[in-house]
Structure 1
Amino acid sequence: MEVFMRNLPLHLADGALQRQLQPFMDRLSITDYMAEKQRNRTTGHITFLREVDGKKFLQHHGEETPPRAPVFQSQHRHPTSRARLTLMGKQVYCKLSDRPPHELTLKTIKHEATQQTHEAPADTNKTIEATELNCGYYTFKDGRLTFTAEWAAAERCLVKFAQRSLLITLTRRKVQLRIPFQSIVELVWWQDGNAAVTLSWAPTILASQTPDDKLTAEFSMFSIGNRIRANQQQRVEAIDKDHARISPSCLVYHFKGIPNAITRHENSDFQSEMFRMTQKQLFIVTRYHFGYQLACAVRFSDAASSLRNQLGQYNTNGTLPFGLLFLLQALVANSYLHPTTVSALARKLAQRFTEAKRDGNDEAPISVDAFKKLFDWIDYKTPYGDPAMFEVDGIMEYLEQAERLVRQGSALRLKLFGETRERARIFKVLVTPTRLTFHGPELEPMNRVLRKFPDNESFFIRAQFCDENGQDLFFNAKISLDAIYDRFKSVLSNGIQVAGRLYKLLGFSHSSLRAHSAWLSAPFVHQSNLQIPDLIVMNLGDFNKIQSPARRAARIGQAFSETPYAVDLDESKVKVSRIPDVERNGRVFSDGVGTISPGAADAVYNVVPQSKGYPTCFQIRWAGAKGMLSMDPRLEGNKICIRPSMVKFESNDRQLEICDMASKPMPMVLNRQLIKILEDMGAPEEWFLDLQSREVQRLRGITATVYNTASFLKSQRIGESIHLDKFLRQTEAMGIDYRRDAFLRGAVEHKARIPVRKGMTLFGIMDETGFLKEGEVYITYDKKDRHCEPPGPGKVILTRSPALHPGDVQVACNTIPPDGHPLVQHRNCLVFSKWGARDIASMLSGGDLDGDVFHAIWDPDVVTVVTTFGPADYARVPPLELDRPVVSADMAAFFVDFMRTDHLGVIATRHMILADQREDGTLDQDCITLAELHSSAVDFSKTGRAVELSQLPRSTKWRPDFFAPGPLITIYDKSAIAMDEHIAPRDNEDDEDNDEGPRHRYYASDKILGQLYRAVDEQNIWAHDIRMATKTGGPSFWDQLLMALKERVSTIGPVEWEHRSDEAHSIRHAYEDAIHGVMIDCAEYPHQPLRELEVFVGFIMNKTGVQTHRQRDRSIKLKDEFERITTWITKEMRNPTSVSGYTSPLDALELCLACLYVGCEKEHREVRPGHRSSPQDLESFKIVAAAALLRELKLLERGTSGQQYAYGGGYVGVSGGIRRK
């Protein structure tokens, strides 16, 4: 039932209206209702779930209409009603609405009613009044922690610990600081009202002034113009100009509670809040009487400027290597040390380097690798911290110790951390709304530009543009980001200064543009020629004819695509020829694909790892061409054939660069968009539910047997490089239960999306032979890794992600070529026909063959029943062009415009919501419109034409329940993943940090996505099925394993391992340094490293349960890096150098056993509260060592045949003929 209300307070919103009505509803015992009202309107509605409640409400509060007076007495046409409800002093008139209640509203009330029992109890918080706000840093004065104020605002401010953030509001300036609890390292307070918070990243600063207000001039430095809408807050770089000078590096904020509000006899609001936050344990809260002082004679900003000049001078004179200068600047920029301390440290280092040169020692006294360890060692300044950690002598002592450790394992470290022909060490800069932070060097895959300038990698840096916490800046209609995007544009246009070098914009690949990352370079000399960004770009190819910033950026970006492998075509004697495209009806059937002969493919096989096998399709960059090369066995000699559709610009480059290759098939998983389209095509609900049910049963059985566990790990490619699945099977054979080890249990508790068993994801290429007829395809892939058989002849569903238009999913006919046909030699690809009126690839979300991957499903339960719809056919949109040549500033503007208008997620989400709510689903006209807008947004990187959010069809605030935030994943320790019950926040408008995103109300969707969502109690599965009860007590897993392996080793021969203990320690330290480096490099924010478990499984966890696109990309890098590291480490363990000078088959066994014993030792590292990013106790090394030992044992046991090995007696350099694999 719906009730209509009029004469409501104008500025009341629905959340506040709901709270105003609550006392009246409580008195009437009404619980299930929803109040709705838009701001700036005086009318609203109340929807009651039950009609009886609505009638009860009207009986008590409905407007009363007096009896109609006689006609001769009436002065009004209608009698005057009497209100019986008063809200905020206003008489509110309520009556039965003349329209029925909205169906979605009723669904939402019903859904929320079922959730009420899970709602968190209200947590009362109080606002603290403070007399001043200061920004500065801590120092130790006579051993006492003392706050130094570098910026002060002696004015009234309000301090509130809200739901997710600490909010500090300067009331006169109307400026608010939002400090997420996640960023607070420690809150220190004393009962006199003084409190200070140490932050790991800078706060969000919001200004509420409108352009017409008096204080607008205060923000003129941020270029805020008339783009700000009424009632929008403006996100700014700093509170004012003085704050901007020090806020990037000063991350301690101090406030002073009003003294007269504090008494001895009872807790003030200030003290109550301090005790409340202590009990909540959201961050460290310490009661400590810290000191306070005003800024020193040398201001922080002046000291920082002086340091930059000093480092620039050292760079010019060659006093210190640039790597150290970069890291010295990082110590200040990243808020580790005061500039005066870093200046003194730089002088001390300069002295050491000068002495080393004078003594003829070419080796650097302190290496970059040793200096990087400093960033893990230096703690935040805390009340009971060690002052020596922040003094030059203590720092130098640590650096010398770190250098000794680095040199002990220098040979191994060179293999793990050194540059190779596939990777380069690159420094990285994070550009946030308030600061620049410096990181690295990190190993980055090679690209064309880096390959052109070997030994000059330090002149290139990657700049990542992001929010303070490392995530993307998210659109929020209530907050203008114009000032922040102006800042980003300024950084790109003016460059980044690092230790005397000025890095300016060079370019960005399409993937790095999506990730909001760009390459910058500083001037350098290569082969006697000065290299600056414009000259580097000019030598890449001819871009002069391109007058579109978007297209020019895309073409230059080809040179920045990650290409780990490259073949010199001249050295390999590979010829390049041009062949025509296959065109018909204005369609290019061969769009983006060329051919390669078997002979030329051999040249590629020589440079890619053996683990890639012998793929027949390669994604490449060559000169100005990009796309795929498919092997054509009919081609003779060494030849590649390039088509016009592949060539984007002219270039003289002669290297064939490999981006990717079809080395193995990719499993197909269902996503929400595809599920909805398939439902609209007539796919039966039972098919989806059965797929999910089978996957749930598989999950439930993961830990039932070790066979199931091993199969799961193999299917998810977890621990693939160390043969983790075989390791678990062998431990079971020895009677040892892996579930007794928490870390190994954690590796199993790794979630995956629902796969389609009779489905696959493959690169697309064209049938060069013409065998396939119109509407036919050929699906082929390797069957290893327990993949099901490829499909036989018959119908297959084809699509490509993202699919939003109902015609983005089509049905084709899979056709098998006869034995001996050239197509039979292909592997791991989807071959499209060259015949027909329109190429199938273009029907699938506008796909082409330049490296796109396609999804195929051949399950007869769905293929035979679906009805297809006509494919989308969007007109080609010409790119925006200038009437002059494109310059670097245009590229910078385009890069920032892409960030500003990157609304793909918003469009896709709205499409899913409307498709769920509308009768026709994805066929609804608004959904069709959104699909076209999504296509236009995808093409923005090529056309420069943005999609404005005002173009989107409107939606309500209701969302289907499958959009509700999922169970939170909380990692309680390094190995155990716990799934907390999600508790929805109260709809509380007084909590000002609630407007970080729109508030949504959820209803139970009756479409298939809602059914799938509600069909699985995920928490119950993980808690009761996968986490099986494990016996505790008795020897640990590792104690049992050591005893069992010791016994097995004794049957091989008299193996001693203690003499290899130092070597094993070096290998462990190198491994753990590499793993910790990946934990930092792949994290969104370096101050919050990934967990070791995430590196081990190659999957970055997201607390909402859904990975962001950046987390997905980084998870791929994570898995590759873990494979690279463990492959190298295993190789070192199993191919040791001989200690005696003679080789023995037992050398490898000795070292593997030594590594296992060393790995089981507890490294007692001091774990300090609030410590930045120490690796603490990493646990995976012993797993790698044990797996290597078991492989070595198996090899030797196979070769002994009852014989024992003995030491000595062999020839130098001969290993006994055992082949390790």
Structure 2
Amino acid sequence: MGSLGAQERDQKELVVSQVSFGGFDERVSAKDLTDFLEHEAGLIWRCRMKNSWTPPESYPNYNVLDVSDVPRKDDYPKVVPHAFVHFATPDAAKRAINAAGRCELILDGHPLRVNSGIDSSSRINQRRTTDPFRFVDVGVEIGTLASRDEFLVAWKGPKSGVDFLIDPFDGCCRILFSKETAFTFKDIKEMAVIKCDFKVEFLVRDINEVKLFTDRYPLVMLFQLSSTPWVYYRTADDDIHVTASFSLLDDEDPWIRTTDFTPGGAISRCSLYRISFSPRYGRILEKSLAYLRERRIAEHWPKRPLAVLEEPEFSTLMLDPFFSVQYKEGISFSIMFLVDALVHKGIVNQHQLSEEFFALLRSQSDAVNEIALRHIWAYKTPIFDARKRLKLVQDWLLKTPKLLKSSKLLDDSTEVRRLVITPTKAYCLPPEVELSNRVLRNYKEVADRFLRVTFMDEGMQPLNNNVLNYYVAPIVKELTSNSFPQKTTVFRRVRNILLDGFHLCGRRYSFLAFSSNQLRDRSAWFFAEDSNTSVMAIRNWMGKFANKNVAKCAARMGQCFSSTYATVDVPLDRANPLLPDIERNGYVFSDGIGKIIPELATEVAEKLQLTENPPSAYQIRYAGFKGVVAVWPGDDDGIRLSLRPSMNKFESSHTMLEVVSWTRFQPGFLNRQIVTLLSSLNVPDSVFASMQDSMIYKLNQMLVDTDVAFDVLTSSCAEQGNTAAIMLSAGFKPQMEPHLKAMLSCIRSAQLGDLLAKARIFVPKGRWLMGCLDELGVLEHGQCFIQSSIPSLENCFMKHGSRFSGLKKNRQVIVGTVAIAKNPCLHPGDIRILEAVDVPSLHHLVDCLVFPQNGDRPHANEASGSDLDGDLYFVTWDENLIPPAKKSWIPMDYTPAEPKLQPRAVTPRVSDLI
């Protein structure tokens, strides 16, 4: 049915529509299927047929360099034949889908089954607007520079069959080739050998610069990348028939993320890609360079030729997954860690680390070496003589002794080393000062043996589920009913590191634990055991985690790693762990909140240097308890801290009262979720537009109008704007003071960025407040108490050490209808409409949202199923933001599912983190 007229149409105007087919016999070729479908439906541009897939429970084994010698396994589960077909028009694709639905597509006695794909709704109108710049049968080499004119090759691509594409359609560059690959099965020596397509992909914006060598054969482009590329594979097509003379979009045969397939870890270690090609691609080169110039990619035409040499260990299998220098005699761990940081960042090539370089490190103290290596780590470009550069920096430091003076760490601070692990490489990051936690404070003598490991994608992007798992193509899923995700080699890499640990700088690190926040960030704590301290000993010290639910047990252990301030030691006999919970109708109204007497609260405030304006409530960790303690008078019985059973998470004898956060002035901002819900409750969109316009106007004016700048700083910046506010009040003007202008510009840029990305609109009549409980029981259901602080210039000075004879207590008791919400909020009932009332007996609570203990259901639970263990609530008393009905939507039921229990108490397994 494909007509000549259709073929003569402008090809770029034709919409590409992809449909997947199955159900045909394995003897059918791609040409046979194309002829049949063209006769029944319409013109076809491409048909890719496959009989191969990644066998279930198998992984590609890149350690096998020669597949001809491996013992073969051919009885693995095979996939049914299927094909990915690109029709020329959506009408042809629709005819094929409808005909298959009526069982009218019968090929050799077999009815064809069809799948239009998961993304069919978006693909049906997707077409190329630009063709890629394709260089066919190129040479590709990955390596590093030994000098400005010497290129060290770490890996060479296949001698033929390699394509290189620069694609303006999606802003990506791709290296494509095929090779035979061995696949390993669990507990089986034999391997499957399958031909696979590989794709090395990077974004155009990740190109730092491109160098052109076009004065000799072959032509060469040398790309320097700022980030490691993504590496993919998929089993190759078994047959293909193409009639289109132009480039088509990829089909729905999934590319699977994988690890570095080069034997020496070239993709992991190297950032230079040398692409060589025939001069007949000179015209395409000109067009591709014009595109790169549009994208503002730096372009250089060196006059001197580039010598190409092979690395000393070229094609040698490297078993260290991090490609790090493990240990050198006479050099401390802290210095070796920084040396590895230089190697991982690409500042120093590992082949430059000669004995002369390490001898130079041994000749100076750790203090000099640490600052010198940190200085070199800050470089933006590689250095070619590591020993010479280190010597220069060491001499410079020795001539300037004041640079060697290090600041003393505060009691609640500690230096934390981090290791970032990506699918292909790892990055040692220099130690950073962070707020400490219970475990690091207790084991401060071996604090340098703790390591925080974060699993991320290339380019320091979040490691999402699609990197760890993959699904078969939609047509295969339909034909085989295989709807379960398969694990990738990246998952295997992460799992092996977590299960088996790893060696770094002469130490062996083992998994210790992770906190709930770290779990969201794909992070965990590792520890390098010594003769005196083991992982099990640390876990035993942390407490008794007698929980039969794995997730809860892991969260309890992570509680010990919360960043906290150690304040006052409260003996167990001065704490009441059995303050009764307030329960009704299956709800715990007092979930997560206790009491602290004013005297102890004052001591805590003194420890935190908050005596001028002491908080009304603290989010705390104490022994195995977590939650909030609000200030309430005691009973003269010696009890200083009253905690409820709902706060108790595990058994511990730790008696230091640790503070996570406290009540303070926090300006109110909307976000996209709150805006959406308020709009669904009939708050006019014009209200949000007006507030947004006002915010943008003030942010634009703050660089030229000091009054507006001061208003923005004191009302919407909390403590972050104190320094700038003090400078403005002292008479400095941004037009005359560069530092002040820079601070204001940063604040403006940050707020505009959040406004664009999150719809973070400032609400003058709004706050973020910590939830507390009315212990007196005076508030009725539907009521709340709010007393918010109002920032003042005196408070700004006070936070910077100044003292006044009478500090202004700028506080405002809110009376009237208020709307509250707690993130995340996705249901209209998550916006609660309450009546704020003035209760003199609650006036000692400031910057708190005080909920009643009366009623059928806690208001905190009604708002996104939250509780009172430290959750922050958005509160506004702006009449324009109160829904016109002035009443709450029916709240959603947030009753949790029954936890999955094990038959006995458990310890979190590493697999639970995965």
TM range (shorter): 0.7 to 0.9
- Alignment length, in residue pairs? 746
Say yes or no: does 1:895 pair with 2:886. Answer: no
> Shift of residue 430 of structure 1?
0.6
For residues 745 and 868 of structure 1, what CA distance do their matches in structure 2 show? Answer: 39
> Shift of residue 39 of structure 1?
3.0
Q: Secondary structure at the match of 1:208?
A: strand
For residues 721 and 93 of structure 2, what CA distance do their matches in structure 1 show? Answer: 72
For residues 91 and 727 of structure 2, what CA distance do their matches in structure 1 show? Answer: 75
Q: Secondary structure at the match of 1:873?
A: coil
> Shift of residue 744 of structure 1?
5.9
For residues 16 and 326 of structure 2, what CA distance do their matches in structure 1 show? Answer: 61
Distance 1:533 1:400, change over 3 A: farther
Which residue is equivalent to 1:291? Answer: 306
Q: Deviations over 1:28-67 (max 9, x none)?
A: xxxxxxx79663499xxxxxxxxxxxxxxxxxxx9xxxxx
Structure 2 counterpart of 1:894, one-letter code: D
Q: Secondary structure at the match of 2:363?
A: helix
Distance 1:328 1:792, change over 3 A: closer
Q: Deviations over 1:638-692 (max 9, x none)?
A: 6001110000111111111110011x22222222222222233233444434433
**Which runs of structure 2 are paired with 1:669-818 in the superposition (5 Å)?**
669-699=669-699, 701-703=701-703, 705-717=705-717, 720=720, 723-731=723-731, 737=736, 743=742, 746-747=745-746, 749-750=748-749, 751-752=751-752, 753-785=760-792, 790=812, 792-818=814-840
Q: Deviations over 1:948-979 (max 9, x none)?
A: xxxxxxxxxxxxxxxxxxxxxxxxxxxxxxxx
Which residue is equivalent to 2:605? Answer: 605
Which residue, 399, 418, 438 being the options, matches 1:448?
438
Q: Secondary structure at the match of 1:678?
A: helix
Which residue is equivalent to 1:370? Answer: 372
Which residue is equivalent to 1:253? Answer: 273
Maintained 8 Å contact 2:703/2:741: no
Which residue is equivalent to 1:536? Answer: 538
Which residue, 811, 814, 829 being the options, matches 2:848?
829
For residues 592 and 764 of structure 2, what CA distance do their matches in structure 1 show? Answer: 30
Q: Secondary structure at the match of 1:248?
A: helix
Say yes or no: does 1:156 pair with 2:156. Answer: no
Q: Secondary structure at the match of 2:641?
A: strand
Distance 1:834 1:309, change over 3 A: closer
Structure 1 counterpart of 2:598, one-letter code: P
Structure 2 counterpart of 1:799, one-letter code: A
> Shift of residue 838 of structure 1?
1.0
Maintained 8 Å contact 2:620/2:628: yes
> Shift of residue 17 of structure 1?
15
**Which runs of structure 2 are paired with 1:560-579 in the superposition (5 Å)?**
560-570=561-571, 574-579=574-579
Which residue is equivalent to 2:257? Answer: 235
Maintained 8 Å contact 2:716/2:762: no
Q: Deviations over 1:732-776 (max 9, x none)?
A: 68x965599973663464335322222221000111111212222
Which residue is equivalent to 1:180? Answer: 203
Q: Deviations over 1:323-352 (max 9, x none)?
A: 101112223333332334224255314641
Which residue, 867, 874, 889 being the options, matches 1:848?
867
Distance 1:883 1:129, change over 3 A: farther
Q: Deviations over 1:368-400 (max 9, x none)?
A: 23321121247326xxxxx4xx24233223233
Maintained 8 Å contact 2:212/2:221: yes
Distance 1:741 1:560, change over 3 A: closer
Which residue is equivalent to 1:207? Answer: 233
Structure 2 counterpart of 1:713, one-letter code: L
Q: Secondary structure at the match of 1:463?
A: strand
In structure 1, list runs of 5 or more residues that go unmatched.
Answer: 1-6, 24-34, 43-61, 63-85, 99-120, 215-228, 354-362, 382-386, 897-1221
Which residue is equivalent to 1:868? Answer: 888
For residues 182 and 878 of structure 1, what CA distance do their matches in structure 2 show? Answer: 48
Maintained 8 Å contact 2:818/2:877: yes
Which residue, 416, 425, 436 being the options, matches 2:415?
425
Say yes or no: does 1:513 pair with 2:519. Answer: yes
Say yes or no: does 1:22 pair with 2:8. Answer: no
Maintained 8 Å contact 1:136/1:151: no
Structure 2 counterpart of 1:796, one-letter code: V
> Shift of residue 207 of structure 1?
0.9
- RMSD value, Cα: 3.9
Distance 1:741 1:670, change over 3 A: closer
Structure 2 counterpart of 1:372, one-letter code: R
Say yes or no: does 1:839 pair with 2:858. Answer: yes
> Shift of residue 631 of structure 1?
0.7
For residues 602 and 548 of structure 1, what CA distance do their matches in structure 2 show? Answer: 38
Which residue is equivalent to 1:1073? Answer: none
Distance 1:90 1:433, change over 3 A: closer
Maintained 8 Å contact 2:324/2:343: no
For residues 160 and 635 of structure 2, what CA distance do their matches in structure 1 show? Answer: 80
For residues 166 and 518 of structure 1, what CA distance do their matches in structure 2 show? Answer: 34
> Shift of residue 860 of structure 1?
3.3
> Shift of residue 849 of structure 1?
0.3
For residues 578 and 404 of structure 1, what CA distance do their matches in structure 2 show? Answer: 63
For residues 775 and 125 of structure 1, what CA distance do their matches in structure 2 show? Answer: 62
Q: Secondary structure at the match of 2:627?
A: strand
Q: Deviations over 1:242-298 (max 9, x none)?
A: 15x343212222222135x26xxxx34335534653564224444455434442444
For residues 434 and 883 of structure 1, what CA distance do their matches in structure 2 show? Answer: 39
Q: Deviations over 1:512-562 (max 9, x none)?
A: 22222211111035xxxx22222211221112x323331111010100111
Compare the two structures and name the one with the higher helix fraction: 1
For residues 555 and 365 of structure 1, what CA distance do their matches in structure 2 show? Answer: 38
For residues 762 and 646 of structure 1, what CA distance do their matches in structure 2 show? Answer: 20
For residues 501 and 335 of structure 2, what CA distance do their matches in structure 1 show? Answer: 21
Structure 2 counterpart of 1:565, one-letter code: A
Distance 1:542 1:40, change over 3 A: same
Q: Secondary structure at the match of 1:440?
A: strand
Distance 1:18 1:498, change over 3 A: farther
Maintained 8 Å contact 1:328/1:346: no
Distance 1:37 1:162, change over 3 A: closer
Structure 1 counterpart of 2:775, one-letter code: E
Structure 2 counterpart of 1:342, one-letter code: L
For residues 736 and 281 of structure 1, what CA distance do their matches in structure 2 show? Answer: 31
Distance 1:139 1:613, change over 3 A: same
For residues 647 and 609 of structure 2, what CA distance do their matches in structure 1 show? Answer: 26
> Shift of residue 491 of structure 1?
1.6
Structure 2 counterpart of 1:510, one-letter code: S
Distance 1:705 1:672, change over 3 A: same
Maintained 8 Å contact 1:367/1:403: no
**Which runs of structure 2 are paired with 1:950-1029 in the superposition (5 Å)?**
none
TM-score by length of 1: 0.56
For residues 378 and 696 of structure 1, what CA distance do their matches in structure 2 show? Answer: 35
Maintained 8 Å contact 2:634/2:640: no
Maintained 8 Å contact 2:518/2:524: yes
For residues 759 and 647 of structure 1, what CA distance do their matches in structure 2 show? Answer: 33
Which residue, 183, 189, 194 being the options, matches 2:212?
189
**Which runs of structure 2 are paired with 1:410-489 in the superposition (5 Å)?**
410-411=404-405, 413-414=406-407, 418-474=408-464, 482-489=488-495
Maintained 8 Å contact 2:772/2:850: yes
Distance 1:183 1:635, change over 3 A: farther
For residues 89 and 145 of structure 2, what CA distance do their matches in structure 1 show? Answer: 50
